[in-house]
A and B are shown apart, each in its own frame.
Chain A
Amino acid sequence: MRGIAAAGAYVPRFRLTTDELAEAWGTSHASGIERKAVPAADEDALTMAVEAAERALSSDAVDRDDLTLAAVATTTTPAEEGELLPRLARALDLPRSVATATVGGHTAAGAEALSRALDAEGPALVVAADCPAGEPAEGDHPLGAGAAAFVVDDDAPATVTGTAWYTEETPGVRFRERGGEEVASLDVTTYQRNAIREAVTEAVSSLPVDPADADAASVHQPDGRFPYRATADLPVSNGAVAAGTVVDRIGDAGAATVPLGLLAALDADDTGSDEGDAESAGTSIAAFFGGGTAAAVAVGGGLAVEGIDDLEDGTTIDYASYLRERGYVVSGDVAGGGAHVSLPNWRRSLDQRYRLVAGVCPECGGVSFPPEGACQSCHSRIEFEEFEAPRTGTVRALTVIGQGGAPPEFAELQQRDGAYAVAIVELEAAAGRVRLPAQVTDADPADVDVGDEVRATVRRIYEQEGVPRYGVKFEPIESE
C-alpha cells in the first residue's frame, strides 16, 4: 500500500498578528486566526515549495534520483503561464526524466496532486505551496502562506488507507478573476457554509474509515472556526479538528493549509516506532475543499516532519512592514536598467545558483567557483572535477546595502524588504574552500556579523523583462 514516506513543512519567517491587523483597520476579518505567516519579498510559491521539498528530501527514506513524479499544488504560480515545475526540479536536482504535474485553480489542488502521486509507480514528490493575496481592506486579512511536501512511496510509515471525492457546482464561494491577483468571495454566508459542509460530509463519509476514530482531522480551514462548522454533521471530535488545524498560527495558506494541517497531525502521531506497530498507529483525515470539489484522504500512522516547528516559530512584524513585504504598496517599476546577465547566461549558471557546484583543479587541488576558466589557485587551464559544496558555511565579509543604495534591479526588493546584507560566504567542502557572494536573507542585517554561520536557501533574486530569476541566498543558522 502506498503512503507517506517522508515529509517536510515550511512556513515563512515573518508573522502578522490579528491584533496588529485589527489595530490598522479598526476591525479584522480573520476569525479564529491569532497570527499569520507572511512571505518575505524574495519568497513566492516556488521558493517555499523548494524549501519544503528540500526538507522532505533530507530524509534517509528517499533518494531524489529515484523520484518518478513531481507534482505541485498552488493557486499562486509566480507567473500566470511559464516555468514552475522545471524550476523546482532544477533547484532540487531531480532527474530530468521526472514526470511533472502542476495543479492549481482552487484550494483543493493538494488533493489532486496527492492523488497523482498515489496513482504513480515509484517514489513521488508532492508539494503544496501557496501565498494567496487579497484586497487589503478585507479579503487579505486571513491570508497567510506556507508549504507542505510529501514523498509518496510504497511501504511507507504513514499509509494512505483511502481517498474519496465529492464534486458539485458551488459558484461564488472563493474565486479569482482571470488576470487578477486577489482572491474574492461573494460572502453569501449561509449558502457557502452549507455547501462546503455538505461536500466535506459526503467526501469524508465515503472514506473506508470511521470518522469517529480519527485522532486528527485537517479540514478546509479558511479561518479558525470554519473546520468545526464544516464537520458539524460528522462524528469527528473537536479534539481531532484542533489537532489538524494550523490556520490559527499561519493564516489561510490557500492550497497549502490542509496539507500543513495533515503534516501537523502526522508529526503528532509519530510514535517513533518501526512499521508493523499498527495497534498504536492513529488515524488522520484530511478534508480538502476548493472550487466546488471536496476530497478526503485517510492516513494511518505517522512520521516525523522536518520543519514542522516552523508552525510555532516566527518573527512578528508591524502592519506597515507587512504591506511592504507583500508588495501591496510597492510599484515595482524601477528606472535605470538592470544588470547585464542574459537569461541564457543565467541558465548556464544554474548548477552554481541552485546546487553550489564548484570545481577542483586536478593539477593543484585548488577549488574554483564557478568552475570555469583557469584554476583560481594555480591559474592552469584544466578541466575541473565538479562537486556540490555543502549548503552551510561562514560569513567572511559583509556589507549592508541601505535604503536607496541598491542597484536598480534590486530596488523593488529593497523597498519591500528594507536594507539587506550581502556577504562573501565560505563553504568548507572536503575538497577545499568555496567562496561566493550572496545576500543574507531572513535576517535583520544589523544582526549579521563576519564569522556567522549561514545556510543556503533558494530565493527570488530579481526580475528582469518580466522573468523572475531564482538562486541561492543564505539565512542565518540560529545558534542557541
Chain B
Amino acid sequence: MRDVYVLGAGQSSFGSFPEETYLTLFDDAFDAALDSVDGEFDPGEIEEAYLGTLGVGGRQIGLSGPAVTEHLGLHGVPTTRVENACAASGFAFRQAVTAVKSGVVDVALAGGYEVMTDASSDHTRWWLGVSGETEWERTSGTTFAGVYAQMASAHMDEYGTTAEDLSRVAVKNHANGAKNPKAHLGFECSLEDAVSAPSVADPLNLYHCCPTTDGASAAIVVSEEVAREASDAAVQVAGAGAASGRVGLFQRESLTSVPASVTAGESAYEQAGIAPDDLDFAEVHDCFAIAELLAYEDLGFCERGEAGRLLREGVTDPDGELPVNTSGGLKSKGHPIGATGTGQIVEAFKQLRGEAYVQVDDPKYGLTHNVGGSGGGVTVHVLERGEFA
C-alpha cells in the first residue's frame, strides 16, 4: 500500500445562502482547494471523485455527484455520490484515500455539499429526521437533537455531567469560530448566554446545537509521487479509521458512548502508529455539545466521565494541551451535513501547514472525527505534517 497525501483542501464559506445551489457552492470549495496547493497542479489530473451529501430537501436525489463534477468541468471523471448522513464526506474522503492507497488512481477528489436553508422549516425538519433511525426513534417523536439529548441525559445521570459542561463547548467553539471568516456563526458567546439559551430538546438548549448550514468543501487526495512533485508541504494521511454502528441509539450497548467512534479511532491510531497523547489538535464532530464530550471519551482524550473536566480545565482550548475544534467546529463554523467531513480535513490541512485562523503551535499530528447520525457511521483520520522539502 502506498502513502497518501492531501495536496490541497478548501471550503466555501459556511452559512445561510439560500440563493446559492450545491453546484455553485462546490465551485467555491473546489477553487479554494486548488488555491491551497502550494505548487503546480492541473485539475485535469483528477481521475476519480467521491462526493458526500445527504441531499436535504430531496433536490437532485439521484446523480448529484456527476452533476457537480460536470459543472466543474471535470468532464467524464467517474464520480460516486456517498451518503452516510452527516459523515457523508468523511466517508467520501476515506474512499478517495483508499483509491489512491491501493494504486487504482494517483489523484482523487473528495468533497461534500449541502444546501439546507432554502426550504421551509417543516420540510427541513422532515429531512433531518429521516437519517435518524426511522422505524422506532422517529416514530417515538424524536428529532436528531432529541436523540443526542437522550445521550446527554444518560451521561449526566451516569457521570454527573452538567448543563454548564455542555455549554463550555459552545463558548470555546464560538471563540474559535469568531476568528474564522468562513464560519457560519462567527461570533463569541459567554458562558452565561450559552447556559441560559432557550431549550431545544431538553437537556439541550439552542447553544448546545449546531446551526442549519449551507456549504461545500473539497480535498485533493494524491499519491506520494504526485505530492512530492506538486508541493513542498503536502499533508500525509497517516491513519484512516472508520466503523459502522447500529443506527438507533436504543439498539446499542451503551447510551453514553458511540461504539463506532471507539473502533474508528483505535484503527486510525494504529495505522498512524501513535496514541491519543501524540495528537497536537483535533477536529471532532460537535453537532450537539454532548457529541464533543462523547468524542473526548470515545477517542481516548480522557477516561470515561472525564470530558466535562477537560472542558472546565481548558485542556481543549487553543492554548491547552489538546486544542479541539479550532475551526469553530460544527457549532460555530457550521454543519452543512454532507460538507462537514471534508470541512474538517480543510482545518487539519491548514493547521499542519501553519495557515489556520486559530493556529496551534507547530503541530505534527491532527485528528478529524466525523459522525453520521447519532453514531451509525464514523470516520476518524489522523493527518501528519508532510516531511519532504
Does B141 lie within 8 Å of A408, measured CB to CB? no
Within 8 A of A (CB), among B115-139: 120, 122-123, 125-126, 129-130, 134-139
- Residue among B136, B202, B252 making CB contact with A402, cutoff 8 Å: B202
* B6 interfacial contact with A, CB 8 Å: no
Instruction: Report the Cα distance A275→B329, complex, angstroms.
Output: 74
What are the residues of chain A within 8 A of B202 when measuring CB–CB? 399-400, 402, 445
B120 with A335: CB separation less than 8 A? yes
- In the complex with contacts A335-B123, A396-B255, A437-B248 CB distance below 8 A: yes
Q: Do residues A424 and B141 form an inter-chain contact, with CB atoms below 8 A?
A: no
Q: A422-B150, A450-B157 are in contact. Are A349 and B135 (CB under 8 A)?
A: yes
CB distance from A352 to the nearest CB of B (A): 8
A405 in contact (CB, < 8 A): yes
Residue from B134, B137, B146, B249 whose CB has the most chain A CB atoms within 10 Å = B146
**Contact A339 B134, CB 8 Å, known A398-B150, A399-B153, A422-B141:** yes
Residues of A within 8 A of B130 (CB): 339-340
Chain A at the B interface: SS class: mixed
A472 (CB) vs chain B CBs: closest residue: B140
Known: A397-B255, A399-B201. A405 touches B249 (CB 8 A): no
Shortest C-beta distance, B163 to chain A (Å), equals 13
Decide if A341 touches B201 in the complex (CB within 8 Å). no
Interface membership of A165, Cβ < 8 A: no
A7 contacts partner chain B, Cβ-Cβ < 8 Å: no
Interface residue B371 (Cβ < 8 Å from any Cβ of A): no
Distance, CA A189 to CA B120, complexed state (A): 53
Give the residues in chain B near A438, CB-CB below 8 Å: 140
Q: Which residue of the partner chain, among B129, B146, B153, B204, contacts A339 with CB atoms under 8 Å? A: B129
Assembled-state Cα–Cα distance A301/B130 (Å): 56
How far is A410 from B125 in the complex, measured between Cα atoms in Å?
12
Does A345 sit within 8 A of B, measured CB to CB? Answer: yes
On whether A400 and B199 interact (CB within 8 A), knowing A336-B123, A341-B134, A451-B157, the answer reads yes
Which residues of B are found within 8 Å of A437, using beta-carbon distances? Answer: 136-137, 140, 142, 150, 248-250
Question: Contact between A396 and B140 (Cβ–Cβ < 8 Å)?
Answer: no
User: Contacts A341-B134, A405-B143, A424-B150 known; A436 to B126 CB distance under 8 Å?
Assistant: no
A 183-217 to B, binary, CB cutoff 8 A, 1 in contact else 0: 00000000000000000000000000000000000
Among candidates B129, B141, B153, B200, residue contacting A397 with C-beta atoms closer than 8 Å: B153
Docked CA distance A413–B202 (Å): 18
A422 with B146, Cβ < 8 A, contacts A339-B130, A341-B135, A341-B139 known: yes
Question: In the complex, what residue of chain A is closest to B133 when comparing beta carbons?
Answer: A437
**Cα distance, A370 to B136, chains bound together (Å):** 9
Given A405-B200, A408-B122: A450 in contact with B135 (beta carbons within 8 A): no
B298 to A: closest C-beta gap in Å: 17
Smallest distance from the beta carbon of A256 to chain B beta carbons, Å? 28
Contact between A397 and B154, CB atoms less than 8 A apart: yes
Question: Chain A, 365-376, contact with B by CB distance < 8 Å: what is the 0/1 string?
Answer: 000111000001
Closest B residue by C-beta to A450? B157
Partner of A422, one of B120, B142, B252: B142
Say if the beta carbon of A283 comes within 8 Å of chain B.
no
The reply to whether B146 and A336 contact each other, CB–CB distance below 8 Å, is no
Most buried by A among B122, B150, B157, B248: B150
**Is residue B145 contacting chain A, with contact meaning CB distance below 8 A?**
yes
Q: B250's contact among A405, A406, A413, A435, by CB below 8 Å, is which?
A: A435
A401's partner among B134, B143, B153, B154 (CB-CB below 8 A) is B143
A88 to B145, CA, bound (A): 34
Confirm or deny: A337 has a beta carbon within 8 angstroms of a beta carbon on chain B. Answer: yes
Q: Is the CB of A400 within 8 A of B136?
A: no
B339 within 8 A of A: no
Q: Which residue of B lies closest to A435 (CB)?
A: B250
**Interface 1/0 per residue, B137-171 and A, CB below 8 Å:** 11111110111011101101100000000000000
Q: How far, in Å, is B203 (CB) from chain A's closest CB?
A: 8
Question: Is A461 part of the contact surface with B, judged by Cβ < 8 Å?
Answer: yes
What residues of chain B lie closer than 8 Å to A341, measured between beta carbons?
134-135, 138-139
B246 interfacial by beta-carbon distance below 8 Å: yes
Most chain B C-beta atoms within 10 Å of own C-beta, residue among A341, A405, A408, A411: A405
B-chain residues with CB within 8 Å of residue A450 when the two chains form the complex: 153-154, 156-157
> Are A408 and B139 interface neighbours, CB within 8 A?
no
* Centre residue among A336, A340, A437 by max chain B CB count within 10 A: A437
B12 smallest CB distance to A (angstroms): 27
Bound-state Cα–Cα, A254 to B350, Å = 72
Task: Report the Cα distance A415→B245, complex, angstroms.
Answer: 35
- Which residues of chain B are within 8 angstroms of A400 by Cβ–Cβ distance? 149, 199, 201-202
A376 — which chain B residues lie within 8 A by C-beta? 246, 251-253
**Choice from A340, A370, A420, A436 contacting B141 with Cβ under 8 Å:** A420
Q: Please tell me if A334 contacts chain B, counting CB pairs below 8 Å.
A: yes
B199: chain A residues within 8 A (beta carbon): 400, 402
Q: How far is the CB of A415 from chain B (nearest CB, A)?
A: 13
Residues of B within 8 A of A239 (CB): none
Q: Does A95 contact B (CB under 8 A)?
A: no
A336-B125, A399-B146 are known contacts. Are A424 and B138 too (CB-CB below 8 A)?
no
User: When the two chains form their complex, are residues A424 and B134 in contact, meaning their CB atoms are under 8 A apart?
Assistant: no
Interchain nearest-CB distance for B133 vs A (Å): 8
A471 part of interface (Cβ distance < 8 Å):
yes
Distance (Å) between the CB of B135 and the closest chain A CB?
5
A339 to B130, alpha carbons, bound, how many Å?
7
Contacts of A75 in B (CB 8 A): none
* A439 adjacent to B140 (CB under 8 Å): yes
Q: A368, A398, A462, A471: which contacts B153 (Cβ < 8 A)?
A: A398
Residues of the A chain whose Cβ atoms lie less than 8 Å from the Cβ of B136: 370, 436-437
**Complex contact B249–A407 (CB within 8 A):** no
Q: Give which listed residue, A335, A340, A349, A399, contacts B122 with CB less than 8 A.
A: A335
A438 to B138, CA, bound (A): 10
Q: A402 near B139 (CB under 8 angstroms)?
A: no
Report Cα–Cα, A400/B140, bound state, in Å: 12
| Partner of B154 from A349, A396, A402, A469 at Cβ < 8 Å | A396
CA–CA, A402 to B199, complex, Å?
A: 7
Residue of A339, A341, A345, A450 most packed against chain B (CB within 10 A)? A339
- State which residues 435-450 of A face B: CB under 8 Å: 435-439, 445, 450
Cβ–Cβ < 8 Å partners of B249 in chain A: 397, 424, 437
Q: Which residue of B lies closest to A438 (CB)?
A: B140
Chain B residue numbers with a CB within 8 Å of A338 are: 126
In the bound complex, residues from chain A placing their C-beta under 8 Å from that of B139 are 339, 341, 461-462, 469, 471
Instruction: Give the complex CA separation of A19 and B153 in angstroms.
Output: 40
- Report the minimum CB–CB distance from A384 to chain B (whole Å): 14
Whole-angstrom distance from the CB of B286 to the nearest CB of chain A?
A: 18
A437 to B203, CA, bound (A): 17
Using a CB–CB distance below 8 Å, which chain A residues touch chain B? 334-341, 345, 349, 368-370, 376-377, 396-402, 405-408, 410-411, 413, 420, 422-424, 435-439, 445, 450-451, 461-462, 469, 471
Give me 12 A-to-B residue pairs in the complex whose CB atoms sit less than 8 angstroms apart, sorted by A's number. A336-B123, A336-B126, A338-B126, A340-B130, A341-B135, A397-B249, A398-B150, A407-B143, A422-B140, A422-B141, A424-B154, A437-B249
Chain B positions within 8 Å of A, measured between CB atoms, are 120, 122-123, 125-126, 129-130, 134-143, 145-147, 149-151, 153-154, 156-157, 199-204, 246, 248-253, 255
Known pairs A339-B129, A399-B142; list 4 more (Cβ under 8 Å).
A341-B139, A397-B151, A397-B249, A450-B154
